[in-house]
Each structure stands twice: as C-alpha cells, then as structure tokens.
Structure 1
C-alpha cells in the first residue's frame, strides 16, 4: 500500500520517465514511483520516493543503515558500494549506492540502487524534521545510463509551499 510523504514536495521527472503505481513498479510502501520508458535486460529502472518523521536524535546514517538491513531481508549479496554525507548543517543529506542481486519477473538481476536521504526542517518548529528518501534502482548495466537523469531529478526536489505562481 502506498504511503504518504511527511511533508509535501515538488519535483520534475526527467524526460523518459513515467509516473507509475508503486505496485506496478515492483515496490510497495512508497509515496511515489516512476519507471524508465526503456527496460534494460528485462528489468525496468525505477525511481521511488518515501519518507517519514524519524525519532529525535536519529541520524541520516542510522536511517541509511536500517535501509541496508531491510534490503538484506529482500535481496541477496547486498553490498554498500559508496556512502557520502553531503548538504549543510541546515540541510543535511546522505547518499549511498548499494549493489545486490534480486529476482524480478522470474529472472535474477544484478542491480544497483542509488539512495539520497534528505532532512527537511519545519521552519515554524526547527526541532521537527522530516526525512525524505529518493531511490533509483536499475540493472548494473543500465545504472550509468540513468544515473545522470536521477541526479537531475534529485536537484529538482524541493518543499512544496503551496504557492501558486
């Protein structure tokens, strides 16, 4: 069942990406999913968005570690390839890339998942913060081709303040 984001955001999907029902993209428990218009080696690359309100004091690193452990429950050979803390003190972020093997549509695929974790702080209550996770999952062969599109997508994500222009 799709989840609701803890705060409204706006973003722009890159060309070649189509909104999809999360279940249709092979994922659940996400607020938004999009699929690439060209499958690679029998697997359709996807972008997902989910999030929540972490407990006070929980760091992005702890949230990312928990994500790795959840993936280990669903996939094989999960390995963290890269992790980096980015952003600023006011807008912390963390990126990580995971490699793993999983079965989709009856076939085993070698996959890479790039994840971006963002903390969004409530401007009216700075002690209240929401976490948003953006993830790209693609075959190892297709990942390099779609990564720059995912990066463009990540750069377009911002809080939706509801203003009409």
Structure 2
C-alpha cells in the first residue's frame, strides 16, 4: 500500500509529467509519483516523488537530509552529496540537496542524480506538530539537466491544502 502524507497539499505538475499509482511503479514508500514518459530510456524514466511524515523530534533539516543519504547508501554502490543549501524562510524553512549515486537496476549499473527538497510545515492548529515533506526528482544526468526547470516549477507550486478541511 502506498504511503500517505500526514497533511493535505496541492501542487501543479508541469506539462509532460503523468501521475502514476505508486504501487503500480513499485514505489510503495511514497505518497505520490509522476513519470516523464518523453524522457524514458532503457532502464531509466525520470520521476518526481513526494513523501513525508510528522517529525516531532528536534532534528534539523540537515539531519533529516543525512538520514536520506544513509537510506540511499543501503541500496546504492556510491552516494555523493554534490550540493546542499537552505531554502525558504524562518516561518517556512526548507533544504535542498543534490545526490549523485551509482546503483544496479535490472542487472545494469546506472549513475543517477536525485534532487531532494525538504519542506518543514507547522500545523496551524497545533504548532507543536511539525511535518517534513520530501519532494524528489530522480533521473540520469541527461534527464536531470533537461528536467530541473520542471522540478523547480513543481516545487514552487506545492502548498498546504487549506480548503480540504483537514489539519493544516
């Protein structure tokens, strides 16, 4: 079963991206997946994913980003953080990082890049409840370069869905 986000959000997918059921593409640990069919190459289709959870602990976004690096290290041959920077504001902090990693997919070694953006949100009804969302673009180098602008557009569109009548 696909993961669920702890808070409702809304966003806009750039043209050329198609939402897919996470379970159908083998991504049960995320709440949302979009593929970019035009970028498909043997063994590699660029994708955007969203996952997130309540984080009542005091972990900084850099610590949470380090956790992601560690998780990828469990399945990749090598992982390098090529870039990391703070984003947003004190009221809505964020962190972005770019990872380069080597992994084996269908018995073929692949070099992939992943841009992760972490967004921290406080529940307006209960400010003690912090949610951290992770938005990620994963692609090979050619796809990554070509689709980074799409991903930036996507990230800029993410908002709490205050019209849903839930939580935030």
State the alpha-carbon separation in 1 of the partners of residues 141 and 25 from structure 2: 18
DSSP-derived class of the 2:57 partner: coil
Give the ranges of 4+ consecutive aligned residues of structure 1 lying more than 4 Å apart after TM superposition. none
- For the residues of structure 1 that align with 2:54 and 2:87, how far apart are their CA atoms? 20
Matched with 2:82 is 81
Where in structure 2 are there 5+ consecutive unaligned residues?
A: none
CA RMSD in angstroms, aligned pairs only = 1.6
Give the C-alpha shift of residue 163 in structure 1. Answer: 5.8
Q: How does 1:11-160 map to 2 (within 5 A)?
A: 11-42=11-42, 43-160=44-161
Q: What runs of 5+ residues in structure 1 fail to find an aligned partner?
A: none
The alpha-carbon deviation at position 127 of structure 1 amounts to: 1.9
Q: Are the equivalent residues in 2 in contact too, given 1:82–1:98 (CA < 8 A)? A: yes
Query: Does the 8 Å contact 1:25/1:46 carry over to 2?
Result: no
Q: TM-score, normalised by structure 1?
A: 0.93
Instruction: After superposition, give the CA deviation of every residue in 1:50-86 in whole Å (9 maximum; x if it has no partner).
Output: 0001133111111100000000001111000000011
* Greater displacement, 2-11 / 18-27: 18-27
